[in-house]
């Protein structure tokens, strides 16, 4: 599976670099090649999900593969909402640390500076607390079944 993600990342990186460098749509046959690579992994049951590649905000490749729910045999669609859990934490933390390195934010800034609707009880919580998992904010997935509720 790790190999698949390396291949997919390489494919997406190549498309992104080509788009940035030349500001042109993907090469002819890109969709067919991408689809063939992904279908091999679907057949091996190492990937189910949705792939979206965009060029300057315009989707150039958007397909769903495999099952969204194996227990109920429900096919994935481009509109399927997947619960991705913790997979984005590393990317978000990296982006926050890069912004801190550039001076665009401080790790000791209160989160209310960036999230004005934060409850008053969160006034002392900083970005550093979020990165260190020391904020005291309860796990929203276990308390809301994965859905953010207003009010």
Catalytic residue numbers? 86
CA dist 132 and 126 (Å) reads: 10
Q: Which residues contact 59 (CB under 8 A, 6 or more apart)?
A: 52, 53
Task: Tokens for 51, please give them.
Answer: 């792939």
Nearest to 19 by CA among 60, 63, 65: 60
3-state secondary structure of 24: coil
Q: Which residues of 82-115 are buried (b: 16+ CB within 10 A; e: fewer)?
A: eeeeeeeeeeeeeebeeebeeeeeeeeebbbeee
CA dist 44 and 63 (Å) reads: 18
């Amino acid at each position: 599976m790790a190999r698949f993600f390396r291949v997919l990342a390489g494919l997406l990186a190549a498309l992104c670099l080509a788009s940035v460098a030349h500001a042109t749509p993907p090469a002819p046959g890109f969709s067919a090649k991408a689809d063939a690579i992904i279908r091999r992994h679907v057949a091996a049951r190492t990937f189910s999900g949705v792939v979206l590649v965009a060029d300057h905000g315009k989707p150039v490749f958007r397909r769903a593969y495999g099952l969204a729910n194996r227990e109920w045999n429900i096919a994935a669609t481009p509109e399927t909402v997947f619960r991705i859990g913790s997979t984005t934490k590393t990317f978000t933390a990296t982006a926050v640390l890069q912004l801190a390195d550039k001076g665009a934010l401080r790790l000791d800034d209160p989160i209310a500076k960036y999230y004005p609707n934060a409850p008053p009880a969160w006034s002392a919580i900083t970005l550093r607390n979020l990165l260190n998992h020391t904020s005291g904010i309860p796990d929203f997935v276990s308390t809301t079944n994965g859905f953010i509720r207003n009010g």
